[in-house]
Amino acid sequence: MKLLTFAHRAESQAFLKNKALSFKAKPFAFEGFYCSEKELALLITGEGVQSATEKLAAVCGAYPEITHIINMGVAGILEDSPKLDLNQIKVLRTCYLSRSEGMEFKSFTTSEESKNTFDCVTSHKRALTKEDSNRLSPFAPIVDRECWAIGSVASRFKIPFHAYKILSDRVFESGEVCQQVKDKALFFSESLLNYFLETWSLEAPGPIEAYDNLEKMSKDYSLHFTTSHKRKFRSLWNILLKKYSNEKEVLKKLDMDCFKEIKLSPKEKTSFLLEKMENLSTPFKSELKVKLDQSISPLKNAKCLVRFSENFEDDSMELSLKIRKEADLIHLKKALEKTDYKQIKNLLNGIPE
Amino acid sequence: MFEKIFYEKDAFSNPRTQYVLNKFKGIPHVEISKIEDIFGRVKKPYLQKRTNLNLFIGEKKGQLVKETPNAYGLSGDPHYYFIHSYNCIYECDYCYLQGYFHSPDLVFFINHEEIIEEMRQIIKKNGSHKTSWFHAGEYSDSLALSHITGELPLYFDFFRDLKSAKLELRTKSANIKELKSLRPSKNIIVSFSLSPKEQIKDHDLKTPPLETRLKAMETLDKLGHPIALHLDPIIFCDDFKSQYEEMLESLFKYISPERIEYISLGVVRFTKDVYNQMKKNYPSSKVHQSELIKSFDGKVRYMRPMRLWMLQTIKNICLLYGVKEEKLYLCMEE
Ligand code: SF4
């Protein structure tokens, strides 16, 4: 469900009147919450950071099905720029907050990908004078009263957020702004509604069509994945997809055709595939392990447990073996003689061959 | 290039400020009282440098020349870095600046005379039996915008006659416009950070390609400017060895190994914060697929045998080309 937020009822009036959207008031802890059958809800947060934070957080807590938060409303222009004109709707990017004691360090960024976006500073009080605009404009060219709060709650609930503002006044020119904005409220609201309807689809999102490599691979190459295999496969597959440019290349690197021929059970084949994937994703580590395994094979054969430091952060090794009879000692002695310690040391110290 | 230029009121009349403001006449110039009133006051997302990069001009307060961390430069001598600028126009995906300042905006400090004065005191304190090294480019690229910042002649004049001090200008750029007009000095070394061309394409976003950097290096070498190399950060990839072989082969076509003052080698490593920033800013960077681990001290790096193997493999290639062992400096970062 998408949630639209406005500071004032006047800003949302066109939305609330729109027949197709058919919003209905929803009883909640406070007034100003509406739901529509179009997977859409609307919240009037009230003006200012505190009210917006409280009301939005309450709604987000009560409705975990909210997938996007879309903040709309009017905003002021802080600097004389050809890029910003009255009545234009601007897509916001990063929101900053000006408190009475100065700027808040934290900022919140919308989920917008478009390049044509503008930053906004949310002011603790209405920005009405040239002094206000001089103070705030170094941080952003647009000012509003709640966007930062919306971003903050959205971030807390990990919900993507978007913000669209219609430019209603030029703060740097000062003047009788509030009345003018009130007089044009219906026009602003209708413009925002049209913009919203053009930008956002009202269709409920269909089920995500996930191409599942796992199912396909199981079928194509007669593999059998246990639950832990599946987890491992998915994580390795994602790593390899990033490493190589596409699925086709990953499959080629894994030499998948060989899986059609090898005579192994589906489970064994799967383990083999995962091993191959691991080797591809960490080629250095895999090769090092193989070489170390070879170097310590005499010790392993003598049932001696060999442990290296975590992540090979030093070049020591630890041997443990239970001696039960004299033959064990003789075995160990022979194994130690056969072990090429210099070779192990070289491997652990990265000496190229 | 810049969205706005903010300049400190007290720096307005400085000729360096005037030069920059004149160079960028068409964009808004905003007077402020102090850089820190705006720069870094709020968290400005790093990638906004792509679309909304501001420039700040002012004076750096506090300590201007600082001692470098341990694993820095050739050992034995005292090493310092000096702060003349913050941030960079390039966008290397591993750059530690993305986790360092809270803004990608550029800052030019104009009080170079004060920096030089601090250097003078340090050199005096260290005496003539030690070589004091000064490195530019700790928080920025030292050549990329040198034609705009215009401070190089001042440093050349200061260092030229010094016997016990060296200046290193570290760069990934090929902007040698300023340097070409300056008389070389034995103790002023231009050090180029290089990587194989494939790695530059993958990681050093917006920097000049390898070939262009090599040509710039060749030009400076021919003019008599001492040249050094930083092969840092070294990043692992499937054809790691052949990529470095190819790069070093081309390098030594442009400049002979004897002409290179030193080559420092360092493997990519991150603090936790920088790594997290990098994951956020460049989620599909190939660095993430190159076997990095969270190491013993919380840093993110390759495991020890791997980083040692990488360093030694490149060292061996350099030795094969005739680079003297004493010119190779391996940054072990242990
Ligand atoms: S050139 Fe240096 S300072 Fe600039 S982005 Fe690259 S690593 Fe960072």
Q: How confident is the model at residue A208 (pLDDT cuts 50, 70, 90)?
A: very low
Q: How confident is the model at residue B234 (pLDDT cuts 50, 70, 90)?
A: very high
What confidence score (pLDDT) does residue B72 get?
Answer: 62
Whole-Å CA distances, A231 to A163, A294, B61:
37, 29, 54
What confidence score (pLDDT) does residue A210 get?
Answer: 37
The total of other beta-carbon atoms located within 10 Å of residue B290's CB is: 20
Is the CB of residue B298 less than 8 Å away from at least one CB of chain A?
no
pLDDT, one tens digit per residue, over B88-141 is 999 999 999 997 899 999 999 999 999 999 999 999 999 988 899 999 988 999
Is the CB of residue B38 less than 8 Å away from at least one CB of chain A?
yes
Kindly state whether residues A138 and A12 are assigned to the same domain.
Answer: yes
- Between positions 8 and 37 of B, the ones with CB within 8 A of A are 28, 30, 32
Instruction: Please compute the mean of the pLDDT values over residues B220-234 and round it to a whole number.
Output: 97
Taking the CA of residue B271 and the nearest CA in chain A, the distance in Å comes to 17
Where in the sequence is the domain holding A340, given as residue range(s)?
A: 284-348
Is the CB of residue B293 less than 8 Å away from at least one CB of chain A?
yes
Q: Is residue A207 predicted with pLDDT exceeding 50?
A: no
Instruction: Please compute the mean of the pLDDT values over residues B198-216 and round it to a whole number.
Output: 96
**Ligand 1: which atom is nearest the Cα of residue B97?**
8
Tell me, in angstroms, the distance from the centre of ligand 1 to residue B141's CA. 6
What is the rounded distance in angstroms from the CA atom of residue A163 to the CA atom of residue A104? 19
Q: Is A353 among the domain residues?
A: no
Smallest Cβ–Cβ distance between A352 and the set B52, B236, B309 belongs to: B309
- CATH code assigned at B289: 3.80.30.30
Where in the sequence is the domain holding B43, given as residue range(s)?
A: 5-330
- Where a domain ends, among A178, A199, A220? A199
Are A350 and B236 in contact (CB < 8 Å)?
A: no
Q: Is A114 among the domain residues?
A: yes
Contacts of A347 (CB under 8 A, 6+ apart): A288, A291, A292, A295, B305
Q: Is residue A209 predicted with pLDDT exceeding 50?
A: no
Count how many domains chain A has.
3
Percent above pLDDT 90 for chain A: 69
Count how many domains chain B has.
1
Kindly state whether residues A324 and A301 are assigned to the same domain.
Answer: yes
Q: Is A36 among the domain residues?
A: yes
- The secondary structure of B218-254, three-state, reads HHHHHHCCCEEEEEEEECCCCCHHHHHHHHHHHHHHH
Instruction: Please compute the mean of the pLDDT values over residues B22-38 and round it to a whole number.
Output: 95
**Ligand 1: which atom is nearest the Cα of residue B144?**
1
Enter the tokens of residue B149: 């910042």
pLDDT, one tens digit per residue, over A47-73 is 999 999 999 999 999 999 999 999 999
Instruction: Please compute the mean of the pLDDT values over residues A325-342 and round it to a whole number.
Output: 93
Kindly state whether residues A29 and A146 are assigned to the same domain.
Answer: yes
Q: Which helix (H) or strand (E) holds B216?
A: helix B210-223
Taking the CA of residue B149 and the nearest CA in chain A, the distance in Å comes to 23
Kindly state whether residues A121 and A260 are assigned to the same domain.
Answer: no
**Are residues A96 and A71 in contact, defined by beta-carbon separation less than 8 angstroms?**
no
Kindly state whether residues A116 and A134 are assigned to the same domain.
Answer: yes
Q: How confident is the model at residue B75 (pLDDT cuts 50, 70, 90)?
A: low
Give yes or no for residue B97 CB within 6 A of ligand 1. yes
Taking the CA of residue B243 and the nearest CA in chain A, the distance in Å comes to 16
Q: Is residue B204 predicted with pLDDT exceeding 50?
A: yes
Q: Whose CA is nearest to atom 7 of ligand 1?
A: B95
Q: How confident is the model at residue B48 (pLDDT cuts 50, 70, 90)?
A: very high
What strand order describes the sheet that includes B29-32?
B29-32, B5-8, B55-58, B106-109, B85-86
Whole-Å CA distances, B137 to B125, B144, B193, B201, B226:
24, 10, 11, 22, 17
Contacts of A287 (CB under 8 A, 6+ apart): A279
Chain A residues close to B41, C-beta within 8 Å: 102-103, 105, 139
Could you give the angle at the alpha carbon of B175 between the alpha carbons of B118 and B104, nearest 5°?
Answer: 65
Kindly state whether residues A329 and A192 are assigned to the same domain.
Answer: no
Q: Is A204 among the domain residues?
A: no
Give yes or no for residue B141 CB within 6 A of ligand 1. yes
Running DSSP on this structure, what letter comes out for residue B121?
A: H
Chain A residues close to B38, C-beta within 8 Å: 138-139
Q: Which amino acid is at A292?
A: L
pLDDT, one tens digit per residue, over A218-245 is 888 888 888 888 888 888 888 888 888 7
pLDDT, one tens digit per residue, over A4-52 is 999 999 999 999 999 999 999 999 999 999 999 888 999 999 999 999 9
- CATH code assigned at A80: 3.40.50.1580
Lowest mean pLDDT among A82-96, A213-227, B47-61: A213-227
Across-strand partners of B265?
A: B231, B330
| Average pLDDT value for chain A | 90
Taking the CA of residue B289 and the nearest CA in chain A, the distance in Å comes to 6
Give yes or no for residue B268 CB within 6 A of ligand 1. no
**Ligand 1: which atom is nearest the Cα of residue B90?**
5
Q: How confident is the model at residue A212 (pLDDT cuts 50, 70, 90)?
A: low
Q: Is A135 among the domain residues?
A: yes
pLDDT, one tens digit per residue, over A152-184 is 999 999 999 999 999 999 988 866 667 777 788
Own/partner long-range contacts of A23-30 (Cβ < 8 Å, ≥24 apart):
A28/A58, A28/A59, A28/A62, A29/A58, A30/A55, A30/A58
**Ligand 1: which atom is nearest the Cα of residue B171?**
1
- Where a domain ends, among A252, A281, A310? A281
Mutate to test the pocket of ligand 1, among B97, B210, B232, B234 (most ligand atoms within 8 A of CB): B97
What confidence score (pLDDT) does residue B73 get?
Answer: 57
Bridge-based pairing of strands B328-331 and B55-58 is unpaired
What confidence score (pLDDT) does residue B168 get?
Answer: 96
Q: Which helix (H) or strand (E) holds B312?
A: helix B304-320
Length of chain A: 353
Enter the tokens of residue A351: 């000496």
Give yes or no for residue B167 CB within 6 A of ligand 1. no
Kindly state whether residues A336 and A235 are assigned to the same domain.
Answer: no
Q: Is residue B265 predicted with pLDDT exceeding 50?
A: yes
Q: Is residue B333 predicted with pLDDT exceeding 70?
A: no
Could you give the angle at the alpha carbon of A72 between the alpha carbons of A66 and A78, nearest 5°?
Answer: 140
| Average pLDDT value for chain B | 94
pLDDT, one tens digit per residue, over A121-162 is 999 998 888 899 999 999 999 999 999 999 999 999 999 999
Taking the CA of residue A4 and the nearest CA in chain B, the distance in Å comes to 25
Q: C-alpha A349: how far from its chain's center?
A: 38
What is the rounded distance in angstroms from the CA atom of residue B191 to the CA atom of residue B231? 10
Bridge-based pairing of strands A102-109 and A24-25 is unpaired
Instruction: Please compute the mean of the pLDDT values over residues A305-312 and round it to a whole number.
Output: 93
- The secondary structure of chain A, three-state, reads CEEEEECCHHHHHHHHHCCCCCCEECCCCCCCEEEECCCEEEEECCCCHHHHHHHHHHHHHHCCCCCEEEEEEEEEECCCCCCCCCCCEEEEEEEEEEECCEEEEEEEECCCCCCCEEEEEEECCCCCCHHHHHHHCCCCCEEECCHHHHHHHHHHCCCCEEEEEEEEEEHHHCCCHHHHHHHCHHHHHHHHHHHHHHHCCCCCCCCCCCCCHHHHHHHHHCCCCCHHHHHHHHHHHHHHHHHCCCHHHHHHHCCCCHHHHCCCCHHHHHHHHHHHHHHHHCHHHHHHHHHHHHHCHHHHHCCCEEEECHHHCCCCEEEECCCCCHHHHHHHHHHHHHCCHHHHHHHHCCCCC
What confidence score (pLDDT) does residue B334 get?
Answer: 54
Q: Is residue A343 predicted with pLDDT exceeding 80?
A: yes
- Where a domain ends, among A281, A309, A327? A281
- Between positions 50 and 69 of B, the ones with CB within 8 A of A are 51-52
Kindly state whether residues A50 and A137 are assigned to the same domain.
Answer: yes
